[in-house]
Chain A
Amino acid sequence: MAIGVKVMRRPGAQVSYVRATLKGMVLTLQHLFRPKVTMQYPEEKSTRDWTLSPRWRGTHRMLTDEQGRAKCVACGLCPQICPANCIKLVPGEDEQGNRYPLIYEIDEFRCVFCGYCQEVCPEEAIHVGVHYENSEFSRDRFVYDLERLCAQTHPVSTLWDPSDPKGE
């Protein structure tokens, strides 16, 4: 059984693609002459308009003293405050009777980058870093040990300062 079909007759201006194409080309050509917003990562890591915030919380870094030893005294506050339970700390005592971390490991996979460890640290030893390039070839490389944490060179986070809430 045949179905009755009503064929619409639209005006040429509505059916033709030429008009729409030209409209699109105009927009494209306009963009050719506008200032560029694309950043050429990884050659470029920041531009005049954009840099990583100094408050960025990335992978950790342990600061060291003048002798190159970690400033950590193994007080145990960071594993206690850590909401992801990603810090492993075993305290020990060196020849001078100073307390220091025998084992200090951070599982960066498990870390939620809240920055509490930096905030709680009484010795200003552990910091979250202004850093985001963390790729590795194997998963176990994401457990950073003390040596690796001390060897990091990236800047450390300033975190949020309540007296300067907007970072000005």
Chain B
Amino acid sequence: MSALDATLRKLGAMTIDGVWRLGFAARFFLAVLRYSGQSFLRLPLTIREIYFSGVLSLLIILVSGLFVGMVLGLQGYDILQRFGSSDALGIMVALSLLRELGPVVAGLLFASRAGSAVTAEIGLMKTTEQLQAMDMMAVNPLARVVAPRFWGGVISMPLLAAMFSAMGIFGGWMIGVVAIGVDDGAFWSQMRASVDFRYDVLNGVIKSFVFGVAVSWVAVFEGYDCHPTAEGVSRAITRTVVYSALLILALDFVLTSFMFRGP
């Protein structure tokens, strides 16, 4: 077999494998949705996951939001004052956070903080035969383990993105108004006048919800599908972070192109 032949074969095998896995992931997603009813009937299970994915991610989200907002304050002032419009700093900070940075950066942080943890947990449960044991006890692991973690992530993500944006605006205000001396009244009134609830805020929330679904889906799937060895779990965690990040950025482009086409 020539080298070219071997490469083509390998490429073909990889493609088939990829398509097969994507199909499996899609069927898995439908199965999770099908068994989601139970995780809402037994709310404490889902609330526990909201605590682990959401509440415990709060610190990193808030601190990151503060720094991103402070950087926006510095950069925004530097650019806007060249055009003599530093009063518009509030608009710039709020819009960039609500539309883009809030959902995207919070999503990336969420994937690496909570998504990886969910993959690791489910993967280790699989490795130590806990999922099989549950299945043998006639308890469906999709309903008992996977669905609550999926919904815990989906519910947490928009809330975290909102906290990120709020903290970012506070950071921008601290730098712009408190440290640099932009007019306080102008900062807030311009923001209030220019930020539209549906066009800016709601679209941002929709984005963060979509990212929440994407990250949670990838995280539970990679955990459930991992090879039940130490190496398999570690690879699954890596894949969760990589795929989540790529999905968030790609979806962000698609969503932005549909949502923000100007008035």
The answer to whether A binds B is no
Spell out A's residues near B (CB within 8 Å). Answer: none
Spell out B's residues near A (CB within 8 Å). Answer: none
